[in-house]
């Protein structure tokens, strides 16, 4: 009797701790990006545009996330100017976001199709061999899951046609 009472007390202490630990929330898209140093420029841009709360929202969202190396392809003066122009920066960043959760395998099936962005324009989805392309960008890593969607890492910053 004493042993079963001890086991019951022990389980009542361990099980809630285990359940709490195992059900810890997956970070949002912004949380995932903030935790990965390759996205520091993207996170800076999201903050400058005031889009952090949006991409921490319910979603789901699919984000084609340019790395620091992708941002480095932009002339420094042009990037600095973009970071200071909230309206243009917002358009550029929202051009990287598609409403809904589109996993890599699903995107691969969209070969030759367009995906409408939150910004309002569309992205061209193409498959070249086993490589997923979004406009001129290559998806270098797909399916980084977040609580409110998915991130696909890209090697180039996407620019809406009106800004090219």
CATH number at residue 49: 2.30.180.10
Look at residue 9 and tell me if it is in a domain: no
Paired strand residues for 137? 134
Look at residue 133 and tell me if it is in a domain: yes
Look at residue 19 and tell me if it is in a domain: no
- Residue 24 CA, chain-centre distance (Å), reads 19
Q: Left (φ > 0), alpha (ψ -120 to 50) or beta: where does 59 sit?
A: left
pTM: 0.83
Look at residue 20 and tell me if it is in a domain: no
Look at residue 7 and tell me if it is in a domain: no
pLDDT tens digits for range 36-95:
999 999 999 999 999 999 999 999 999 999 999 999 999 999 999 999 999 999 999 999
Look at residue 22 and tell me if it is in a domain: no
């Amino acid at each position: 009797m004493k042993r079963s009472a001890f086991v019951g007390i022990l389980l009542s202490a361990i099980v809630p701790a285990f359940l709490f630990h195992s059900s810890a929330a997956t970070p949002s898209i912004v949380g995932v990006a903030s935790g990965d140093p390759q996205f520091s420029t993207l996170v800076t841009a999201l903050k400058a545009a005031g889009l952090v709360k949006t991409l921490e929202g319910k979603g789901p969202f699919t984000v084609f996330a340019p790395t620091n190396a992708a941002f480095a392809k932009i002339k420094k003066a042009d990037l600095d100017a973009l970071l200071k122009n909230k309206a243009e920066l917002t358009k550029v960043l929202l051009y990287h976001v598609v409403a809904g959760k589109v996993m890599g395998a699903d995107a691969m099936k969209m070969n030759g199709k367009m995906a409408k962005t939150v910004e309002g324009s569309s992205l061209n989805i193409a498959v070249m061999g086993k490589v997923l392309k979004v406009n001129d960008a290559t998806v270098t890593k797909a399916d980084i899951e977040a609580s409110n969607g998915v991130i696909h890492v890209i090697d180039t910053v996407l620019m809406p046609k009106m800004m090219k």
